[in-house]
Each structure stands twice: as C-alpha cells, then as structure tokens.
Amino acid sequence: MTSPQAQLLWDAFRAAPKQIDLDLPARRRAGEQAEAPTSEPVGVTVEPEPAVGGLFVSPTAPAPRAAILYLFGGGYVLGSPASRRKTAGHLANAARMRVLVANYRLAPEHPFPAALDDAVAAYELLLTRDVDPERTFVAGDSAGGGLALALLLALRDRGSPLPAGAVALSPWADLTCSGSSMTSLAGTDIMCTRKGLSGMAAQYLVGHDPRDPFASPVYGDLGNLPVCNTSGRRGSARCPKPMQPCASSATGSSNDPRGSAGAA
C-alpha cells in the first residue's frame, strides 16, 4: 500500500511539468535536484574519488573487501554522482558496504559508447581498491540500471572478473522504446514519454543501432552472467542465468521485454 507521504510526492510530480519535456539545460538543472525531497542518510562518510570524478560513500562499519558500483540515471544526457549522493548513502547503510558513485560522460557531447567505456573504467578502478569481485555488486537506476546491465555484458566479453551480482532499478534497457507498455502506461507515467525517451536515445546513439546489446541489453546474449535483481513499477524479480526471462520485469511490463514508459 502506498504511504500518504509517497502519494503526496507522486501527486506533486504529476502536477509539475514533465522534466523529460524541458529543454536540455533545464532538464540538467532539474536532474541535480532529484533527491531534494528525500531524507539524508545517517552515519555515512562521503569522500571524493577523483580518478572517476565520483564519490565514495561509506557506512560506519563497512564489510571488508566488499563494495557497490552505482551508476546514476538520467537518460544518458543528465545526472551526476552528486545527484545520487543520498541514494548511495542509504544503500551503503542497508548493505553495509562502501558505494562508489562513478561519473560518466554524457550525451550529446559524448555519445555511445562513452558511458559504457567510463563504467568499465570505474569498475576496473574499484577492483584496485582492495575489493574482491566476488564481494562486489553493480547497481543503477533508470539509464544507470541499463548501463549496469550493459557493463555486465562488456565485462563478460572482455574476460574481466565479474561482480557477484547486479541490481537494476527500473532500468532503461531498451533504447528502441518499442515496448507495448510505452503505450499502455502512457497515461499513468508521471515522468517519461515515448517522445522524450526517443529523443534522449537519439542524442546518445547518434545513428548507432539501438538494438546493439551494449546500448539495449535486452537484445543481447544474457547467459553466463551473475544474478541480477531488477525492480520496476510492477514489482521486482530475481533473474537467474540467463536473464532474458526477467527483462519484462525489469521494464515494468509483464509480457513485453522491450521497454516501458517509466525508465530513463
């Protein structure tokens, strides 16, 4: 059941202009305020990580040799580590693990595959910080969730050590924006529109095939990957190997693995 506080926030979002329909400078300014209504995490330490332009967020007593790489959302065109500082703090406390919120280059200034290249570099850096891959997770929301899944594909194909698992929060994992829920949920989505998502995809891809698995992981060979937990508007799922049967849950539609109206 939705709490009264959550309903008030939902109603406020619904009444406001959709961020995705603003021009890019306005969207970027709004994106930096994404966590404004949320509570401050308690008992965490935040330190800069200049090597990836990001932040290391640590709980009071983090588990040894364990860490989470967190990738922020924003349709590949907006967002920053600072915009997910609170999220990282709450995650660090809940998991009792250090969280690295890495920066990655944004489109249209830096199109595909710049974000993926930077995510790979951030993961490789994390493994140099006395971290065991078997005690490491990757996570992200929206476009960051899709990027986390693409990162798993890239690491596997490079023969790099894989993390223990991934958590993708309402991931944007299909940049074709062709899923049936793009239409069926259009009237209830308070954040995204097909037009807005398609515009961001075009800025990121610049003519590149949107079905490239490194851009849209739902079109890839998702076998031999770590376990992935996904959550979206209709609940959550635990994805075994291969992950394809869970793609529909990842995008919020029970029968269409290709995308939803609510992820960016």
pTM across the whole model: 0.88
Edge-to-edge strand list for the sheet holding 54-58: 45-49, 54-58, 98-102, 67-71, 136-141, 165-169, 227-232, 235-239
In this predicted structure, what is the pLDDT of residue 17? Answer: 75
> Quick check: 173 and 76 in contact, CB under 8 A?
no
Select the CATH number that applies to the domain covering 4-251 from these four: 3.30.870.10, 3.40.50.300, 3.40.50.1820, 3.40.190.10. 3.40.50.1820
pLDDT at residue number 254? 31
Return the structure tokens found at 9: 């926030």
| Burial of residue 124, with CB atoms counted within 10 A of its CB: 0-12 exposed, 13-18 middle, 19 or more buried | middle
Instruction: Identify the three-state secondary structure at position 145.
Output: helix
Q: What is the pLDDT of residue 244?
A: 38
Q: Detail the DSSP E strand segments found in the chain.
A: 45-49, 54-58, 67-71, 98-102, 136-141, 165-169, 227-232, 235-239
Identify the pLDDT of residue 250. Answer: 35
Q: Which helix (H) or strand (E) holds 224?
A: none
Query: Quick one: pLDDT at residue 189?
Result: 79
- Do residues 73 and 142 make contact, with C-beta atoms less than 8 angstroms apart? yes
Residue-level pLDDT at 102: 98
Tokens encoding 168: 């993708």
What type of residue is 142? S
Phi, psi dihedrals of residue 100, rounded to the nearest 5°: -100, 115
Tell me, what DSSP letter sits at residue 101?
E
Give domain limits for the chain. 4-251
For every one of its 264 residues, what pLDDT tens digit does the chain have, with 9 covering 90 and above?
A: 778 888 888 888 888 777 777 899 999 999 999 999 899 999 999 999 999 999 999 999 999 999 999 999 999 999 999 999 999 999 999 999 999 999 999 999 999 999 999 999 999 999 999 999 999 999 999 999 999 999 999 999 999 999 999 999 999 999 999 988 888 888 877 788 888 899 999 999 999 999 999 999 999 998 999 988 887 655 444 444 443 333 333 333 333 333 333 456
- pLDDT the model gives residue 56: 98
Q: What is residue 257's predicted lDDT score, i.e. its pLDDT?
A: 32
Could you tell me if 262 and 252 are in contact, meaning their C-beta atoms sit under 8 angstroms apart?
yes
> Is the Cβ–Cβ distance between 157 and 133 less than 8 Å?
no
Q: What's the CA gap between 183 and 156, in Å, rounded?
A: 34
Per the CB < 8 A criterion, the answer to whether 40 and 89 are in contact is: yes
